[in-house]
Amino acid sequence: MRMKSTGIVGNLEMLCEISDIRPKDGWLIVNIRTTTPVGWNLRVALSHADILTLLKLLCKPSNLACILFGFRKSKHKEHIPDY
């Protein structure tokens, strides 16, 4: 996964992976480990409403097609479009 940050460290793109997901006190806690260029542990707490919104967005036809049939391969593997 790639994430972009525009925070205090400036405009930074990080490579990361989801390391764990588990429920806790009415929240779904997602642990994310960044690997490049820094090694951080991030936690995201999703509420029930957040999860429903995520599911609704994932079910949009364009997103669902990517999930079911894969992503188109870029000619330039290193080029990631602005997001």
33-78 per-position pLDDT tens digit: 988 888 889 999 999 999 999 999 999 988 888 888 876 665 555 6
C-alpha–C-alpha distance, residues 79 and 13, integer Å: 12
Average pLDDT of the residues in 17-42: 92
pLDDT of res. 72: 65
Q: With CA atoms as reference, report the closest residue to 32 among 70, 55, 5.
A: 5
The total of other beta-carbon atoms located within 10 Å of residue 14's CB is: 19
pLDDT of res. 73: 60
Q: What is the pTM of this model?
A: 0.69
